[in-house]
Structure 1
């Protein structure tokens, strides 16, 4: 009974270690990041050795004998970790079982045997090992790894028992099917070594391991301590203790920071281009010709100027002119060929020829022209209005640079407010990105 109390106390202490460890895990140094979905970056094979106390029955009760003894057992295993939370484990074990009190468990009367001693020559099994608590956003590597195992295998043992009359019987070697079920906790000592504390109950598919048969299959327990050694490159982390979810989170954060940095850099470049473009549209004397093309800066307010910003000679009476179909074709051709650089107000060279013909038309017939810039709805309304105005101004400055009268050209930007097609399709958005020419 004294030994039973010792092992019950030990089991309670192990439970406290597990619960306390789960509440106070601390990350260790070493390799703590692996690019997600790289199985070759981990150590997945390991070996372990252990030793400890074994006895008939389980932590929750005895089998056929009250006076069971605590004996020594030892074992070893090879494990292949397949997933962070699951692995396959091949175990080898041997030990001894014995009892020296003849009274049957749960009954007052003595059984037919006074004592027994069974040599467990060997036990071999294959088990699934389920690891818990290693998926944690706060720790890159789990320091404590609670686990559970269940498997199946074979054992060979030979009981020796003494009857109440004093006769000793040595049985033959008996092979039998076993079902081992266990639980425990591993403490990561270093990147490649774990301290293993566990408890296992092995269910035997017979009722003769203690030399006495009463119709209820026997079982025995093994409480052990041992060491597990990870095999392979010591620069790689163990898969069983590594936090895959944390790797994914860190990889996402890194990609987000990189993209944000690139976006900020692009915004800065765009701002520089916008500032440079705005400087080219400055018209200090407000005569309708930007300073870049103004050959007569400082013209008094209200003075009519030509395309170079110089005062026009005294204006002759207007001669009434008519817009012909040919004139309309010139304007339509210019609209059709008008192209800008993407998201900019820079006119492409392919549009120069048709715009030059419009400038010639304005000069020869003294027409007035209204330019109306429009955009699709991609982007903010404020930026679209600004872009449409800038594009209309660019067309005006081009025509003025070819000799057209700046005072007869009006440039207005309407942004995305006046679509002529649906903005839900690329074709519709292309139609909405336009500059309209109106002769009068």
Structure 2
């Protein structure tokens, strides 16, 4: 048949873009529709689905071409498929289609190619057909609403069909081949539109043209042309897997990115508002702290004597100081001979571990008496550490300093104010006896106490 009219097929395809616009819903909230992330991988989506469909089979295709009968007839068809979504726009689909195909020579005018019309009609049982197809999503995103509600797709693949033609002639009806079904390779090329009914259910409308590698479909072989047939269908597609995950085919990555940016913007706005509020509180606190109404140099927050004249000198509380105050005479500290003897005893009894700054326990009693004296009379003490010349000068300097500091630490632990003790080390620089004898070296290893 040349230039035949495929009214049903074209009507189905023409209705697709209109339906795409008419069925676009308002965007769903994030609590209504599960969303996948941008870079989390396919494991966060449902990628497998199954579909069932039913429709019409016709022994002709929308692209035209030659056919062996003047009129084709609509007949039922049915199918099913399993689909694996590899990417947002690409899937592999295994299809099965079955049904019946019919045609006759009842049209007087047309593009049929049977000149003698010896074969009056045919009926072919499409027992089965199986194919593997690549499915490409052409449009899945509605940029106005950021919600994927419908998608256009095309498919192409290859498969094998098993069918059995029966032909009717003037002499009666007979099988085209008595040997059984005919198996032939075919190439399916299709297009369709899919609508998202829910997170796990889709409505699928499609049209597929099947190009056979032979001229046996209608039971009549005329010339070198090859038979073709088309399947127009409507069906349902069911997404498999965890329902909390979205379907990969419907995933709208720009919408997810937009929502994420909006959420981040809202969070940043909250944080910025909180920082502004904190800064306002801080500015108010600083202003309150800096306020000095009477100009006396003391903040109003701490000023216990407000409205003090600017010429008056004030204390830390903002209150005027007495104008004719005479400072009290300092108390004179008298150091007695008993005090000096007590210190000398401490010096005489002070011993350290050999080569170390650890004070031996036998020195504690005399040091305790020095601590008591300093606390009672509020005395100050200068400690000077010395060593003999055994060892390096640097080590001796360090050892003398550490021993003086050990005495200071002991007295401080007994309650003496550390600010009243000065500890200095002189090493071997100030001997009081010769270092050539053991007795002289022993005298040089000392800590001198000077009270005042």
Please give the range of the TM-score, normalised by the shorter of the 2 chains: 0.5 to 0.7
Structure 1 window deviating more from structure 2 (221-230 vs 25-34): it is 25-34
Counterpart selection for 2:203 from 176, 182, 195: 195
CA distance in 2, matches of 1:228, 1:20: 18
In structure 2, the partner of 1:78 is 82
Q: Where does structure 1 lack aligned partners over 5 or more consecutive residues?
A: 315-440
Change (3 A) 1:10 1:156: closer
Cα shift at 1:269: 1.3
Tell me which of 215, 224, 231 is aligned to 1:215. 224
1:205 equivalenced with 2:209 (yes/no): no
> Could you tell me how far 1:89 is from its partner in structure 2?
1.0
Q: Which residue of 2 aligns with 1:42?
A: 45
Q: 1:35 to 1:282 in 2, by over 3 A?
A: farther
Identify if the C-alpha distance between structure 1 residues 288 and 51 changes in structure 2 by more than 3 Å, giving closer, same or farther. Answer: same
Cα distance between partner residues in 2 of 1:144 and 1:191: 13
Which of 94, 99, 113 is residue 98 of structure 2 equivalent to?
94
Kept in 1: contact 2:34–2:245 (CA 8 A): no
- Distance (whole Å) between structure 1 residues aligned to residue 56 and residue 173 of structure 2: 28
**Correspondence list, 1:133-282, <5 A:** 133-139=139-145, 141-161=147-167, 168=174, 170-171=176-177, 172=179, 173-210=181-218, 211-282=220-291
In the alignment, what sits opposite 1:22? 21
**Cα 1:258/1:33, change in 2 over 3 Å:** farther
Residue by residue over 1:307-362, the C-alpha shift from the partner in whole angstroms, topping out at 9 and shown as x without a partner, is 85768989xxxxxxxxxxxxxxxxxxxxxxxxxxxxxxxxxxxxxxxxxxxxxxxx
1:226/1:167 Cα in 2 relative to 1: closer, same or farther (>3 Å)?
closer
Q: Distance in 2 between matches of 1:229 and 1:260?
A: 41
Alpha-carbon spacing, 1:24–1:195, altered in 2? closer, same or farther (3 Å): closer
Alignment RMSD = 3.5
Within 2, Cα distance between the matches of 1:21 and 1:192?
19
Structure 2 residue matching 1:248: 3-state secondary structure = helix
Q: CA deviation at 1:234?
A: 3.5
Residue 56 of structure 1 corresponds to which residue in structure 2? 59
Q: Please say if residues 28 and 143 of structure 1, whose CA atoms lie closer than 8 Å, have aligned partners that are also in contact.
A: no
Distance apart, 1:70 and its partner CA:
2.0
Give me the whole-angstrom Cα distance separating, in 1, the residues matched to 2:82 and 2:293.
Answer: 85
| Alpha-carbon offset, residue 117 of structure 1 | 3.0
Partner of 2:121: 115
2:133 maps to: 127
1:298 maps to 307
Contact 2:123/2:167, CA 8 A, preserved across alignment: yes
For 1:357-368, what aligned pairs fall within 5 Å after superposition?
none
Number of residues of Structure 1 aligned to a counterpart in Structure 2: 310
For 1:136 and 1:214, how far apart are their aligned partners in 2? Answer: 48
Aligned partner of 1:394 in structure 2 is: none
List aligned pairs for 1:301-320, cutoff 5 A.
301=310, 303=311, 305=313
Distance 2:78 2:114 in 1: 34
| Cα shift at 1:69 | 2.2
The corresponding residue for 2:429 is none
Larger radius of gyration: 2
- For structure 2, which runs of at least 5 residues remain unmatched after alignment? 325-452
